[in-house]
Structure 1
Amino acid sequence: MVNLSGMTINVILKDLICLKHDSSFTYRRLSGIVIRPDPVIDPEKSPGHWVNGSTGESVIEPFDVEPDPVFPKTRPVPTGLEWSNRFMPGSLACFTPVQGSESSDEFISKNGGTRVVHAMVFNWIHGMARHNNSLLSFCMIIHLEDRAVPCGASFFDPAFSSGQKTLPIDLECPLAVVSDLNSTTQRIIDYRLPPVRYMRTRPSAHRVTPEYIFKYNMAIDRMKRLPADDPRNFMQQANIHCAYCNGAYDQPGQGTLDLQVHNSWLFFPFHRWYLYFYERILGKLIGDPTFALPFWNWDNPKGMTMPPMFVDPKSALYDEKRNQSNLPPAVIDLGMTGNTDPLQVVTNNLTIMYTEMIRGNKTAEDFMGNPYREGTEPNPGPGASERGSHTAAHVWVGDPRQPSSENLGNFYSAGRDPLFYCHHANVDRMWTLWQYFLPSNKVPDKKITDPDFLNAAFLFYDENKQLVRVTVKDCLDNLRMGFDYERIDLPWLDYRPPPQTARARVIKTTSDAPLASTVFPVTLDKIIRVQVPKAKKGKADELLVLENIEVDTTKFLKVDVFVNDEDDNINELDKASYAGTYAQVPHKTNKKANKTSIRLKLTDLYDDMDIEDDDTVLVTLVPRHHGGGITIGGIKIIEAPATKSS
């Protein structure tokens, strides 16, 4: 373990490549490099020498630093491809194993006697290139055959005009994808949805047949066996999520402002396209165009345990990095309350689903997430489903034995668990249900017509390894995309909490609580209760707003919100006073702190309790995480804006 620029790192670097700022790049197969403190440069050797950091032995033949390193393997940049100059200034610096060793644990460095590491190490992970006037994102990694390749799918359109960023090394997300930068597959084409000849019906993971499990296992196994430079390879696909969910890239023309597909209205569209191509790749690998991913229906009591097919250690669907306490028959706790009564957990889960799908939303953005445009700070605000059941399932499965709750419990590693895609199939199912099957009187207008939303674009590799550009507007109809979901009962659809009638205790508690204006901003490391003035007296169409929520993105954070709660049992959510939640999956970015906001509809909540002519309500905030990490800038109640009917 070594501390670099104030950042503690304990990680094995694999397959890194060295970059130079001119028209060439140099690379070498690297394996098993461990960063150690105190790298040593032999001052008696030429500046071009590489030396073993412990022994001082020469690792490779000396070479001149200028004009171009003579390394074991060097070749010019492919025609028409121009590297960005956004790498750290200074001489070339690389890691390489000791000669003849496949897994050296020695740190190698060269820079004329200067200790080289700090942020330069990170810059070898992400890069930028321009090809035929189209900016592409690149992860500079070398695979087993010693070729330099671009990484994964790009994000947004135009793509990443501001280049790579420095990231914590322990993300380990970029991998190789294709072996030939001049390949025709590197030409980006605009994707056109093919005619739907076979409707792929995604089944409930708890209801699949042995034949389906065999086929699914075979598909994942074949994906894992693909060459490391194949963009359809299991780890390549997994790292799409890592690259675009951890602040790896800057917004075009916005300096160092992060790109992020979570916590905004891009959450559902990005993941729908992600699963779309993942599913088609699996189908092609087994020669079955009807193959469809399963969905983990954690919204139904019969599906509230980890699907059995994912816990067989001999299966390709198995991942050892899961919370061992939450394996079947443990019931998923979508509220992360820690309640040990399975029946109460199920009841809580159904209440959560009703709240985030029906009761808590006033507008489309309340469900989908807040607008995210060029120049917008990342994490403008997650929608009800994303910050609720979606986040809980991630964290509930993640392994607490791992340093960052890998795999499913952290954005960078989530795609490495096959259960991720099954989980997100159900997340996508929630979007489909909300769009087409839920009562429209709660949110009359469910369409977002903003061009910045509809025209947002992503790049993915399709099942034929072709790099394609897709847009949000083309993924709004799942049937047009050729997939649907098995019909399953929705027990939460009518699971409205029982009315709250008692007022005496609420009035007494309210009289003892301070006004919100005297408490906020506040770091939420314990339960707090405050009085919040209403916009109007009595029952009204109002929203509760938690604003300027500043979070440490590296931590799991969750805050439940109650209004006029009549008891102190915070582990029971099946009551009228439960208003909703804010939660986040841990992820790592350069800028650990982010600000966001959420709003919760109070209209139905007021209908379920007797507030008479009250001009204030009692708001209780209950942190479900441990310690700090979240500061809430303010809390207020506003009149709900008018919505237009469909």
Structure 2
Amino acid sequence: MSHLQTPSPKFKFCPYGQAYDCDQGRQRSLVTSIALYARYTLNARQPSRQTISSKLVAGLLIPIDFNLMRHIHTMASGMSPSGSRVRITEWIPQSLLHGRQGSGRNSVVKTHRQLKWAVYICAFVLCLQALLGTVDADPVLASSLGFCKNVTVLKGAPLHCCLPAPKRTPIRFRFPRIPRTLLGRPILRERKPAHIVQRDPDYVRKYNLAYARMKALPDTDPRSFLNQWRVHCSFCNEAFKQRKAPGPLGPETGVPLQVHYSWTFLPWHRIYLYYHERILASLINDPTFALPFWNWDNQLDQDAAMMPAMFFPNFGVQNSALFDQFRNPNHLPPKILYLGYNSKLEAEGQQNLTDKQIRYENLCVMYNQVTTKISARDFLGGPYVVGTDNSAATVNVSAGEVPGESGGMESVHNVAHEWTGLINDPEHPDNEDMGNFIYAARDPIFYSHHSNVDRLWDVWKTIPDKVTRSGNRKRMDYTSRDFLDSEFTFFDENQDMVIVKIRDSLDSSKLGYKFTDVSESDNMWIYYEPMPAQESSSNSSEYPAAAPSGYNYIGTDPVSFRLDRRAPTSEDAREKGVKNVDQLQEDVVLERVKIPHLQYARFDVFINYPAANRQTRLYMSEYVGTFTHLPSGMVDMSRSVSESSSESEDNFRIVTIRYSVNAALKRLGITDYNADIVVTIVSKGARNSSPKTGFTFSNLIQDFQ
């Protein structure tokens, strides 16, 4: 039997996150499993001494938790010859090296002495792999212990978002025990569409009761509604500092922590909802309870995109705990959430669309924000580099810092926030509740909204590739250890603080829940076909290129720039981890965009249609996507202009914005990479006419992902 045909034994790994808690029996089981695997590997075709190291590397470089490796190394270290300096291959008993004891599990178990050598060698290789793998790994580490500051809302009136101290030592995350049927199938909690489940009076009563009990908990209880709001308020508004070392008590870096504007956005909110849901379920003693999802992307069912009626009084059952008074009264049912929404244009009477027009535009926005985003970076957001301040207006590129970068899902999710919250209301200058990250989690509809965002992450992974030229690229999450090992802290239903890594959040089924299948409505935007392209007599040479490292201003009027393009290379493909250039996604990227903290921003982008303006419909072929920025802090429309008009760097943040253009280029018949294009940016959020106080960006480039 060749090495490649050698069957692998079944490993009995401790569940991830239990490395600190595994008992000795589990540790011995792991060591034995590795030894067995080594025996299979070493006996395959009787490897020579010269090839033994490569065999081990080929057979043993498997993903495993570093803490487990430390346990293995500790146990195996006592098996090494004391003071020996011989090469690894010389430590291996000759009978094992040359396969004289036969092959298979029984031989290994019986050969106790040889088992010791195999364990030691395996432990050495695995520990070496872990050490080498962590040299470049620098995940973001966060905690809700210490380093917490109040969040500034108005001058002299900071808001307290800090959480109570844990009553016990923080624990590591463990996957929940999932019940199974007699046939072994997992029994998962089912999150259902809000517009469907609200027809069930029993569910609405149960849902209301859960929030009523949560709101009745004392402020000292981390499960209380007040503290559940504080979790979001603090992590999403730079109340905490990044940490340098793992664990909730690791030293701080001095750099603010922000879970938006990067690849942490979706995982953090998934874990947040996971514990929020478990707390609600425990308060009503119903382990089957699941949050509903506000299915606002659904354009098939008439009431799906409306604010669910069960979140308002007089619904027919007692539901006062689901109500929040700070919602836009102009958007109550039967109004449909408009994904092209802008509060300023609505106030000016420029967004009087019919329901049919809204639904068409909603489909096109979802298509461009989800379907066309095939790379993890485009959908989830850019990397979060330790030491980078995503709230700052300066980025030290030479030190490895990168600007914040929202993914397509985060931008479209922001629209639902703005549409639901109080906007342009002089009595509520802070856009509370949903219209501002500080207050958003005070509204129970927030959790239903994010339940849908969470669902769309699962949906994104299943969408076939109709974007790249190859048509066969698989959508995948990041695999970087910087991403996977980033960790955060939450309180669970037992009031324990739990340390959770992003890698624990990637599979919702392992967390014990699923979503009702609404693929019929999903398919309407997944396979949406925009309107035919418009004729344009414009020539790209008529428009200037953006000034590299310059001062490119985005004002209230649309601006157009020429973008010089090039063909992708094999080096681009290798760098992005795809098989060939035809699997690459082409992006238009606005670099170092400077946005005032206190302003809502929206940039709709069109290619080869310089006539685009604020009234241009979004269901056009030339439309390639939207970026949105939700205010953090005080956002009084009259006051924000004056208070953010200062040139102080503290009033701005720097972000990178990318738009996926493969599908649009294909629709427009642009197949030549050497063909330059015109990029038109339509701002629907600028309220300042001065370049010093408005939106600027440093460069416009082509990029491949």
1:640 is displaced (CA, Å) by 1.8
- Structure 2 matches for 1:61-210, cutoff 5 A? 157=141, 159=143, 163-165=147-149, 167-168=151-152, 170=157, 172-174=159-161, 177=164, 183=167, 186-197=168-179, 198-208=187-197, 209-210=200-201
Question: Does residue 415 of structure 1 match 2:441?
Answer: yes
Residue number in structure 1 paired with 2:356:
343
Among 518, 527, 530, the residue aligned to 2:557: 527
Partner of 2:508: helix, strand, or coil? coil
Question: Does residue 434 of structure 1 match 2:446?
Answer: no
Partner of 1:595: helix, strand, or coil? strand
Residue number in structure 2 paired with 1:621:
681
Offset from partner CA, 1:179-199 (integer Å, 9 cap, x none) = xx7x4xx21011201211241
Residue number in structure 1 paired with 2:525:
492
1:543 is displaced (CA, Å) by 1.9
Among 264, 268, 272, the residue aligned to 2:266: 268
User: Partner letter of residue 169 of structure 2?
Assistant: R
Unaligned runs of 5+ in 1: 1-154, 642-646
Among 618, 631, 634, the residue aligned to 2:698: 634
Among 516, 523, 536, the residue aligned to 2:546: 516
Question: Does residue 399 of structure 1 match 2:411?
Answer: no
- Structure 2 matches for 1:344-383, cutoff 5 A? 344-359=357-372, 361-378=373-390, 380-383=403-406
User: Partner letter of residue 308 of structure 2?
Assistant: P
Residue number in structure 1 paired with 2:639:
none
User: Partner letter of residue 591 of structure 2?
Assistant: E
- Structure 2 matches for 1:231-242, cutoff 5 A? 231-242=222-233
User: Partner letter of residue 557 of structure 2?
Assistant: I
Residues 268 and 639 of structure 1, relative CA distance in 2, 3 Å threshold: closer
Partner of 2:604: helix, strand, or coil? strand
Offset from partner CA, 1:335-388 (integer Å, 9 cap, x none) = 2254321221111111010111112x2421111111113112316334433443
Among 308, 317, 320, the residue aligned to 1:315: 320
Q: TM-score, normalised by structure 1?
A: 0.69
User: Partner letter of residue 676 of structure 2?
Assistant: T
Between the aligned partners of 1:411 and 1:241, the Cα distance in structure 2 is 8
- Residues 529 and 618 in structure 1, CA contact (< 8 A), matched pair in contact too: no
- Residues 257 and 378 in structure 1, CA contact (< 8 A), matched pair in contact too: no
1:241 is displaced (CA, Å) by 0.4
Residues 595 and 162 of structure 1, relative CA distance in 2, 3 Å threshold: farther
- Residues 549 and 630 in structure 1, CA contact (< 8 A), matched pair in contact too: no
Between the aligned partners of 2:259 and 2:685, the Cα distance in structure 1 is 24
User: Partner letter of residue 590 of structure 2?
Assistant: L
- Residues 544 and 562 in structure 2, CA contact (< 8 A), matched pair in contact too: no
Structure number with the bigger relative contact order (C-alpha 8 A, sep ≥ 6) is 2
Residue number in structure 1 paired with 2:494:
464
Residue number in structure 2 paired with 1:224:
215
Residues 630 and 548 of structure 1, relative CA distance in 2, 3 Å threshold: farther
Partner of 1:206: helix, strand, or coil? helix
1:164 is displaced (CA, Å) by 3.8
Residues 580 and 437 of structure 1, relative CA distance in 2, 3 Å threshold: closer
1:533 is displaced (CA, Å) by 2.9
- Structure 2 matches for 1:541-580, cutoff 5 A? 542-565=586-609, 567-568=611-612, 570-571=614-615, 572-580=617-625
Residues 326 and 556 of structure 1, relative CA distance in 2, 3 Å threshold: same
The answer to which of 592-601 and 467-476 deviates more is 592-601
Query: Percent identity between the aligned chains?
Result: 34
Residue number in structure 1 paired with 2:643:
none
Among 608, 611, 614, the residue aligned to 2:667: 608
User: Partner letter of residue 349 of structure 1?
Assistant: N
- Residues 542 and 601 in structure 1, CA contact (< 8 A), matched pair in contact too: yes
Residue number in structure 1 paired with 2:335:
330
Residue number in structure 1 paired with 2:107:
none
User: Partner letter of residue 554 of structure 1?
Assistant: L
What RMSD in Å do the two structures reach over aligned CA positions? 2.8
- Residues 160 and 252 in structure 1, CA contact (< 8 A), matched pair in contact too: no
Between the aligned partners of 1:448 and 1:612, the Cα distance in structure 2 is 29
Between the aligned partners of 1:158 and 1:272, the Cα distance in structure 2 is 16
Between the aligned partners of 2:308 and 2:473, the Cα distance in structure 1 is 33
Partner of 1:583: helix, strand, or coil? strand
Residues 547 and 568 of structure 1, relative CA distance in 2, 3 Å threshold: closer
Partner of 2:525: helix, strand, or coil? coil
1:250 is displaced (CA, Å) by 2.2
Residues 430 and 382 of structure 1, relative CA distance in 2, 3 Å threshold: farther
Between the aligned partners of 1:276 and 1:466, the Cα distance in structure 2 is 14
Between the aligned partners of 1:544 and 1:426, the Cα distance in structure 2 is 28
Partner of 1:470: helix, strand, or coil? strand
Partner of 2:511: helix, strand, or coil? coil
1:555 is displaced (CA, Å) by 1.7
Between the aligned partners of 2:531 and 2:494, the Cα distance in structure 1 is 53
Between the aligned partners of 1:548 and 1:307, the Cα distance in structure 2 is 38
1:518 is displaced (CA, Å) by 9.1
- Residues 491 and 498 in structure 2, CA contact (< 8 A), matched pair in contact too: yes
Residues 195 and 423 of structure 1, relative CA distance in 2, 3 Å threshold: same
Partner of 2:656: helix, strand, or coil? strand
Residues 364 and 281 of structure 1, relative CA distance in 2, 3 Å threshold: same
The answer to which of 306-315 and 630-639 deviates more is 630-639
Query: How many residue pairs end up in the alignment?
Result: 478
- Residues 560 and 610 in structure 2, CA contact (< 8 A), matched pair in contact too: no
Residues 438 and 412 of structure 1, relative CA distance in 2, 3 Å threshold: farther
1:222 is displaced (CA, Å) by 0.9
The answer to which of 418-427 and 457-466 deviates more is 457-466
Q: TM-score, normalised by structure 2?
A: 0.63
Residues 362 and 326 of structure 1, relative CA distance in 2, 3 Å threshold: same
Unaligned runs of 5+ in 2: 1-138, 180-186, 245-251, 392-402, 569-581, 635-648
